Amino acid sequence: MTKFKHPQILLASNLKDGEVVFLGPTGWERDFRRARIAKNQEEAQILETIGKADYSANIIVDVYLTDVEIAGDGTPRPLHYREKMRIKGPSVRLDLGKQARGALNEH
Amino acid sequence: MSINHSNTVSRINSPKTTYQYDEFDKDFIRERVAEFREQVRRRLEGSLTEEEFRPFRLMNGLYLQLHAYMLRVAIPYGTLTSQQMRRLAEIADRWDKGYGHFTTRQNLQYNWPKLIDTPDILEALAEVDMHAIQTSGNCIRNVTADHFAGVAADEIEDPRPTAEFLRQWASAHPEFSFLPRKFKIAITGATHDRAATLAHDIGLRLVKNTSGDVGYCVIIGGGLGRSPFIGKIIREYVPRTELLAYLEAIMRVYNRYGRRDNKYKARIKILVHEKGIETIRAAVEKEFATMDHTAFQQDPQEFERVAASFVSPPYEALPSESSKLTKARLETPAFDHFVSVNVSEHKIAGYAIVTVSLKPINGIPGDATSHQMRILADACDRFGFGELRVSHEQNIILPHVKKDDLFALWQTLTAADLATANAGLVSDIISCPGLDYCSLATARSIPIAQAISQRFSDMARQRRIGKLGIKISGCINACGHHHIGAIGVLGLEKKGQESYQITLGGDPGFSASIGEILGPGVSADQVPEVIEHLVDFYLAERHETEAFIDTWRRLGHARFKDVLRREGEDGADI
Amino acid sequence: MALISKGDFVRDPWRRLADEEAFPENGKLIVSYERLDNALKARGANGDIGVFIDNTLEIDKLTPALPKLGLIAIAFPSFADGRGFSLARLVRREGYRGELRASGRLLADQYAHALGCGFDTIEIPDDLAQRQDETQWRAAIRVHQRTYQRGYISSGSILDARRKATQ
């Protein structure tokens, strides 16, 4: 595992419908703001363990941790532009994807 | 859960101008749908792990992308009936988000299907003799062909019967479904290469030998991606009766010796590059000489059966000039521009080939709404014998339109924002979906295409510039064919930011070449400006009607590099 | 390991001999390619010797031994590695008529491919056999009823059926 530098969240795709999901306090969430934030290496490993188990249980696929920063309201914001895209939807179709369903465009 | 047939039956009694599935073909794709339905069920219950399911999911065209699954539907050799186009629209509305994306390989992609709905979507496709078989995976992919096939004035023979013949041969092949990597075949029958045969794993060109018999020139080892290569001729002439045997020999050599230790070195182009074309040719010829050819003895009959279904529509005997067309061109300048840019010569007098651009200014290259799909279906029923084509330039073609009808067609298209008169011009940009949709992408490509088209939104200026192919890929895999764009743009990640590398001098045709890198990467907002400088330099330097690529070849790459250096010194932030 | 023949999970009459194992007097034995010569010398050509080969073996290295062999098992190091399918074709082309076995993590979904290329039996690890049980393999035999290719083994060639239908 690479060195822990930033807080992290665990994201994946739902097996049945393919939507991007985030591991939350009690299960997989479709809104990144409900994602559980790992603040150290140990917490990140716990998230990964849950992710692996749910991958094996055929609930989610393509599961991985991504670096985030923590916004003023305590919710996570991905650092990389790829994951910034994944939490919203296509930048060329603002009417589609998660961004079309809720006020996710505050930054 | 099939769609009701009644609303999809073609409104007029369209003649059949393309291959008609017989009961065996229909059974075959129904069987594949049932197989995939079962595979999805076994995946969900856990009989198949994701790793095990993936190749079968991909062989049915289903990817997992950035936001959702993506389903890639085959449009074999780019030919589509109005009825099929309507079905694509219905699927977009019912299971997706009301649109589809036409790709650079004569496929259509839906960006939002659910895994659990996919078997139903495939069933809806099967009802109109369509499928998503082998549009992905390490197998022989959808065979592509010249989009003007059968109607072009420069054709030796229609390549589509061969393409259909190959489609059947490649489908669910027992031996060649788990190749080292994907395998793409393109075919052309014309004297202009509109199918990029030098940029495919196998490129086929219909040629005549000295006694006038039609056969194939076989090219192998072309391809774009991480290591681009121009294909090499492996055999100048393969008689028609031996084509399948020869291709099986190539496939067997590739399946056995293609590298499997490194995904990025697994394409046949690397095998050809590392072993040399002579070695590969010797291996293929040896296999070809050793293999049992008796299995292929019935091929000629089968080929004739397939070829017989690609009949010409019942053309009327017309004068080659249309006074109606001449009059409309004089009266309506916008229509006149459309005709001069988007209409091509047809082999039959009084008819024309119409390219419908899916590249409106600021649009998403290749995207069409379900409404537009229906407009196109209706338009081709009314004006074009119910047949459409899809080009690797991500445009739609009405291959047989009476010159007398061009004005009425143009009016119909205009109403649906489908009459952009930019075919082949600087805003007719080929672009992959890039990071807006694709999980492999390293940068976005659609916004770059939009910004370039806006920069050149003055259509008169575009016409002055003339034919100029800009091609954009959002990663090294090069789905946007940037290597063979006269101007290519490649989106990469550099220090956590999107960065764009520009190449010049690519050419997809018979004189194919791979573009050369212009200099260090630039940011997204600099791309249109850089391209504008290059185009202005070309306009200043070109000899009369000289194409961009020819000016570049004549002046050399260094002169174009200088342009940027000079502009940079002038204060532009490049 | 589980052995699949004609869709059924069956008992394996063959035993795979490890390279360090001493050579037994009798019984059907599968040996590595390296031990093949010695095994054939010890036992003669009574069809009780089989060989386990990598999917990269050149066919001419095996050709002389073919008439003496009772079984050839071709390794599938992963289900995605299709070299074994081509090698099977070559083995059959050389006239081998004994049992041809695919050995590795082959999936039920590839059963038709394997049969088409000339395999008779499939040998898979137990964990895979548990997930993909006999029902799935039995179903897989019927999944590809008709195929488009020539010269492969299938329950029905579309091309032949077409010719028959038009005659």
Q: Which residues of A touch B50 (CB under 8 A)?
A: 15, 55, 58, 61
Residues C70/C28, Cβ–Cβ less than 8 Å: yes
A73 within some domain: yes
Position B298 scores a pLDDT of 77
User: Among partner residues A15, A85, A93, which is closest to B66 by beta-carbon distance?
Assistant: A85
Q: What integer is the mean pLDDT of B173-194?
A: 96
Residues C17/C30, Cβ–Cβ less than 8 Å: yes
Position B248 scores a pLDDT of 97
Position B316 scores a pLDDT of 96
Edge-first strand listing for the sheet containing C121-124: C8-10, C2-5, C121-124, C99-104, C71-76, C49-53, C28-32, C14-16
What's the CA gap between B324 and B339, in Å, rounded?
A: 13
Q: Which residues of B touch C95 (CB under 8 A)?
A: none
Q: Give residue A24's domain range.
A: 8-100
Query: Which residues lie closer than 8 Å to B386 by C-beta, 6 or more apart?
Result: B10, B12, B14, B15, B17, B81, B82, B83, B380
Q: Which residues of B touch C110 (CB under 8 A)?
A: 178
A3 within some domain: no
Helix (H) or strand (E) holding B485: none
pLDDT exceeds 90 at position B572? no
Return per-residue pLDDT of chain A as tens, 107 residues.
567 899 999 999 999 999 999 999 999 999 999 999 999 999 999 999 999 999 999 999 999 999 999 999 999 999 999 999 999 999 999 999 999 987 554 44
Instruction: Write the ipTM.
Output: 0.97
The reply to whether residue C81 touches residue B177, judged by beta carbons under 8 angstroms, is no
What's the CA gap between A69 and A44, in Å, rounded?
A: 14
Q: Which residues of C touch B25 (CB under 8 A)?
A: 158
Position B510 scores a pLDDT of 86
What's the CA gap between B76 and B275, in Å, rounded?
A: 32
Chain A residue nearest residue B50, CA to CA: A61
The Cα of B98 is separated from the nearest Cα of chain A by a number of Å equal to 11
Position C44 scores a pLDDT of 76
Position A103 scores a pLDDT of 54
The tens digit of pLDDT for each residue in B387-429 reads 999 999 999 999 999 999 999 999 999 999 999 999 999 999 9
Position C39 scores a pLDDT of 92
Chain C residues with a Cβ under 8 Å from any Cβ in chain B: 56, 79-83, 85-87, 89, 93, 107, 109-110, 112-117, 131-132, 136, 139, 143-152, 154, 158-159, 161-163, 166
Could you tell me if B177 lies within 8 Å of chain C, comparing CB atoms? yes
**Six token digits for residue B376:** 């196109």
| Mean pLDDT of chain B, nearest integer | 94
Enumerate helices (H) and strands (E) in chain B, giving the number of each.
Answer: 18, 20
Residue ranges of alpha helices (H) inside B203-322 are 243-257, 268-275, 277-290, 299-308
Position B309 scores a pLDDT of 92
**Six token digits for residue B221:** 């080892």
> Could you give the number of structural domains in chain A?
1
What's the CA gap between B5 and B232, in Å, rounded?
A: 47
> What part of B 232-261 touches C (C-beta under 8 Å)?
244, 252, 255-256, 260
Higher-confidence residue of B152 and B8: namely B152
Residues C101/C122, Cβ–Cβ less than 8 Å: yes
The reply to whether residue C110 touches residue B178, judged by beta carbons under 8 angstroms, is yes
**Six token digits for residue B497:** 């930011």
Query: Which residues lie closer than 8 Å to A15 by C-beta, 6 or more apart?
Result: A58, A59, A60, A61, B43, B44, B50, B115
Domains of chain B (ranges, CATH numbers) = 151-309 (3.30.413.10), 323-415 (3.90.480.20), 430-569 (3.30.413.10)
The tens digit of pLDDT for each residue in B422-461 reads 999 999 999 999 999 999 999 999 999 999 999 999 999 9
Q: Is B501 helix (H, G, I), strand (E, B) or coil?
A: strand
- Look up the pTM and report it: 0.95
The reply to whether residue A58 touches residue B43, judged by beta carbons under 8 angstroms, is yes
Q: Do chains C and B touch (3 or more CB pairs under 8 A)?
A: yes
The Cα of C43 is separated from the nearest Cα of chain B by a number of Å equal to 32
Q: Which residues of A touch B496 (CB under 8 A)?
A: 79-81
Chain B residue nearest residue C162, CA to CA: B24
A1 within some domain: no
A82 within some domain: yes
Domain ranges of chain C: 2-166
pLDDT exceeds 80 at position C108? yes
The reply to whether residue B46 touches residue C131, judged by beta carbons under 8 angstroms, is yes
DSSP string, C79-117: TT-THHHHHHHHHHHTT--SEEEEEES--GGGHHHHHHT
Could you tell me if B262 lies within 8 Å of chain C, comparing CB atoms? no
User: Which range among A51-55, B47-51, C19-23, C79-83 shows the weakest confidence by mean pLDDT?
Assistant: C19-23
Q: How far is CA B409 from the centre of its chain?
A: 24
The Cα of B70 is separated from the nearest Cα of chain C by a number of Å equal to 22
Burial A16-41 (b: 16+ CB within 10 A, else e): bbbbbbbbbeeebbeebbbbbbbeee
Find tokens 């496939």 and name the residue.
B251
The tens digit of pLDDT for each residue in B5-59 reads 444 344 445 567 899 999 999 999 999 999 999 999 999 999 999 999 999 999 9
Position B571 scores a pLDDT of 45
Chosen for mutation from B21, B24, B25, B29 (greatest number of chain C CBs closer than 10 Å) is B24
- Taking the CA atoms of residue B141, residue B145, residue B150 and residue B156 in that order, the dihedral angle to the nearest 10 degrees is -120
A29 within some domain: yes
Report the amino acid identity of residue B459.
Answer: M
The reply to whether residue C162 touches residue B55, judged by beta carbons under 8 angstroms, is no
What is the domain class of C2-166 according to CATH?
A: alpha beta
The tens digit of pLDDT for each residue in B332-372 reads 999 999 999 999 999 999 999 999 999 999 999 999 999 99
The reply to whether residue B115 touches residue A16, judged by beta carbons under 8 angstroms, is yes
Chosen for mutation from B26, B175, B250 (greatest number of chain C CBs closer than 10 Å) is B175
Subunits that touch chain B (at least 3 Cβ pairs < 8 angstroms)?
Answer: A, C
The reply to whether residue A18 touches residue B64, judged by beta carbons under 8 angstroms, is yes
* Number of other residues whose CB lies within 10 A of the CB of residue B167: 24
Residues B142/B135, Cβ–Cβ less than 8 Å: yes
What's the CA gap between B283 and B108, in Å, rounded?
A: 37
A31 within some domain: yes
- % pLDDT > 90, chain B: 91
A107 within some domain: no
Position B567 scores a pLDDT of 64
Q: How far is CA B237 from the centre of its chain?
A: 25
| Spatial CA neighbour of B7 closest among B72, B93, B68, B79 | B93
Subunits that touch chain A (at least 3 Cβ pairs < 8 angstroms)?
Answer: B
A41 within some domain: yes
Q: Is A102 helix (H, G, I), strand (E, B) or coil?
A: coil
Chosen for mutation from B64, B66, B499 (greatest number of chain A CBs closer than 10 Å) is B66
The reply to whether residue C85 touches residue B175, judged by beta carbons under 8 angstroms, is yes
pLDDT exceeds 90 at position B574? no
